[in-house]
C-alpha cells in the first residue's frame, strides 16, 4: 500500500517552494491565495527570505504546510494515497491531502496554531532536548522522577526521543539521562516546549478554532500522532487534533501501525527529507522516497 507522510517544523529552507511556483500555474494560484488568506506575502519570505526570517513560528508552520499541500495538488492524478500521516504540524497537511480539510481551512488552522504556540512560548521559558541511544522506557521513567515539567514529546524513531518542558527540568533530565547511558542529550534550538503541558494555553485557543471548522470524511485513513492508529471518523480526527499540542507525537508507533496495516511504499511530501531518514531507522524493509513532480 502507498503511504504519504508530511513533515513538521524544522524542514524549512531558504528558497523552498520556488521551483513549484515557477513550474506550475496551479501552484502559483495556491501560493497567491495563501498570501491573501495570511494577509502578508509568505512567498517573498519562502523564496527570498533569510533562514532567520523562516525560523519565526508564524512563518515556518504555514511555509511547510504550503510546500507540502501545494506539492500534493501539483502531483494531480499520480497522488493516490491509501494512508497518510503527518509529523506534528504535518498532520494538518495530511488532513488537507486526504480531503478532511479544505486548503483554506487547513491554512487558517495552521496560522492560528502557529500564533497560539508563539504566544504560549512567550508566557513561560521552556525548551526541548533530543535524547539519543536510550530505551524509551528509561527516558519516560526519568522524566517522571524529575521535579517540574519535563515529558517525552516526540517518539521520532527507535533510540531517538525528544523531551519537552521547563528549561531547568529539561537541563536536569539531560544530565541524568547522560549518566544513565544516553549517547547524547542535546538541547534543541526551539522557541518553547511543544507537545507538553506548557502548550496548554495554545491548545485551548486552537481547540476553539478546530471546533468551528468543518471536518469532512477522509478519502483514506489518517494515522494521527495522538492514538498512533488509523482514524477515519471526522469527529475522532477533530478530538485527536485538539489533543495534539499537549500530547506526545507517537511517530515511531504511527509508522509501525502503518506497516502492520500494509504500508510498503512511503512517500514524503514536502521540503527536505527528515521523515525518510527516520523511516529507515524505524524499519528498513519498506521503501522511502520523496514526492517529485514532472515539469
pLDDT in tens, 230-269: 999 999 999 999 999 999 999 999 999 999 999 999 999 9
Q: Is the pLDDT of residue 164 over 70?
A: yes
- Confidence check: pLDDT of 192 > 70: yes
Mean pLDDT of 117-138: 95
Work out the percent of the chain whose per-residue pLDDT is above 90.
Answer: 94
Q: Which residues of 93-109 are buried (b: 16+ CB within 10 A; e: fewer)?
A: bbbbbbebbebebbbbb
**Residue 179: is its pLDDT beyond 80?**
yes
- Positive or negative CA dihedral for 81, 82, 86, 87? negative
Q: How confident is the model at residue 188 (pLDDT cuts 50, 70, 90)?
A: very high
| Cβ atoms of residues 216 and 232 within 8 Å | no
Q: Are 176 and 170 in contact (CB under 8 A)?
A: no
Catalytic residue among 68, 195, 196, 254: 195
User: Does the CA dihedral 113-195-165-212 come out positive or negative?
Assistant: positive
Catalytic, 195? Answer yes
Neighbours of 152 (CB within 10 A): 24
Q: Is the pLDDT of residue 160 over 90?
A: yes
- pLDDT score, position 2: 96
Average pLDDT over residues 59-87: 96
Whole-number pLDDT of residue 28: 98
Average pLDDT over residues 141-162: 97
The answer to whether residues 46 and 54 touch, using CB atoms and an 8 Å cutoff, is: yes
pLDDT (mean) for 51-63: 91
**Are 73 and 27 spatial neighbours (Cβ–Cβ below 8 Å)?**
yes
Q: Which domains does the chain have, with CATH numbers?
A: 2-122+197-290 (3.40.366.10), 124-187 (3.30.70.250)
List the one residue out of 40, 39, 41, 48 whose CA is nearest residue 16: 48
Buried b (16+ CB within 10 A) or exposed e, 219-237: ebbbbbbbbbbbbeebeeb
Q: Which three cell numbers stand for residue 28?
A: 502559483
pLDDT surpasses 80 at 294: no
Q: What is the pLDDT of residue 57?
A: 84
Q: How confident is the model at residue 295 (pLDDT cuts 50, 70, 90)?
A: low
Confidence at 81, pLDDT banded by 50, 70, 90: very high
Mean of the per-residue pLDDT values for the chain? 96
Pairing of strands 126-132, 287-290: unpaired
CA distance 226 to 152: 13
Cβ contacts of 232 within 8 Å, gap of 6 or more: 217, 218, 221, 222
**Res 128: pLDDT:** 97
pLDDT at residue 240 in the model: 98
Under the banding of pLDDT at 50, 70 and 90, the label for residue 11 is: confident
Distance of CA 246 to the CA centre of its chain: 13
pLDDT at position 220: 98
pLDDT number for residue 55: 86
Q: Quick one: pLDDT at residue 190?
A: 86
Give residue 178's pLDDT: 98
Query: What does the pLDDT average to over 137-146?
Result: 98
Q: Catalytic: 88?
A: yes
Instruction: Report whether 2 contacts 262 (CB < 8 A).
Output: no
Among candidates 115, 111, 113, 117, which has minimal Cα distance to 36? 111
In the chain, which ranges are E strands? 2-6, 83-86, 126-132, 150-157, 160-166, 184-187, 222-223, 230-231, 265-268, 287-290
Query: What is the model's pLDDT at position 282?
Result: 97
The Cα–Cα gap between 191 and 201 comes to 15
For residue 53, give the 3-state DSSP assignment.
helix
What mean pLDDT do residues 226-232 have? Answer: 98
Q: Which residue bears the cell 471518523? A: 233
Instruction: Specify the pLDDT at position 117.
Output: 94
Spell out the residues 6+ positions from residue 52 whose beta carbon is closer than 8 angstroms to its own.
none
> In this predicted structure, what is the pLDDT of residue 126?
96
Q: Is the predicted pLDDT of residue 82 greater than 90, yes or no? A: yes
Catalytic residue among 24, 67, 87, 88: 88
| CA dist list (Å): 18 to 4, 11, 28, 42, 60 | 22, 15, 10, 12, 15
Amino acid at each position: 500500500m502507498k503511504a504519504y507522510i508530511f513533515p513538521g517544523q524544522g524542514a524549512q529552507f531558504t528558497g523552498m517552494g520556488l521551483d513549484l511556483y515557477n513550474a506550475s500555474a496551479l501552484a502559483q494560484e495556491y501560493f497567491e491565495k495563501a498570501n491573501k488568506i495570511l494577509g502578508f506575502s509568505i512567498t517573498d519570505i519562502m523564496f527570498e527570505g533569510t533562514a532567520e526570517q523562516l525560523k519565526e513560528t508564524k512563518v515556518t508552520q504555514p511555509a511547510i504546510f504550503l510546500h507540502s499541500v501545494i506539492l500534493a495538488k501539483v502531483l494531480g492524478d499520480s497522488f493516490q494515497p491509501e494512508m497518510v500521516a503527518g509529523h506534528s504540524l504535518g498532520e494538518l497537511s495530511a488532513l488537507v491531502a486526504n480531503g478532511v480539510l479544505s486548503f483554506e481551512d487547513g491554512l487558517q488552522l495552521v496560522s492560528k496554531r502557529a500564533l497560539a504556540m508563539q504566544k504560549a512560548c512567550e508566557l513561560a521559558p521552556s525548551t526541548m532536548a533530543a535524547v539519543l541511544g536510550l530505551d524509551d522506557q528509561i527516558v519516560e521513567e526519568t522524566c517522571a522522577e524529575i521535579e517540574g515539567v519535563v515529558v517525552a514529546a516526540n517518539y521520532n524513531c527507535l533510540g531517538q526521543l525528544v523531551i519537552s518542558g521547563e528549561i531547568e527540568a529539561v537541563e536536569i533530565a539531560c544530565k541524568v539521562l547522560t549518566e544513565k547511558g544516553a549517547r547524547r542529550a542535546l538541547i534543541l534550538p526551539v522557541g518553547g516546549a511543544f507537545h507538553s503541558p506548557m502548550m496548554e494555553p495554545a491548545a485551548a485557543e486552537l481547540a476553539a478554532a478546530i471546533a468551528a471548522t468543518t471536518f469532512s470524511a477522509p478519502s483514506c485513513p489518517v494515522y494521527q500522532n495522538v492514538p498512533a492508529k488509523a482514524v477515519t471518523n471526522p469527529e475522532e480526527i477533530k478530538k485527536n487534533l485538539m489533543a495534539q499540542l499537549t500530547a506526545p507525537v507517537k511517530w515511531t508507533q504511527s509508522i509501525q501501525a502503518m506497516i502492520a496495516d500494509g504500508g510498503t511504499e512511503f512517500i514524503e511530501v514536502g521540503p527536505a527529507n527528515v521523515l525518510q531518514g527516520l523511516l529507515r531507522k524505524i524499519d528498513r524493509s519498506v521503501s522511502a522516497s520523496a514526492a517529485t513532480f514532472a515539469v
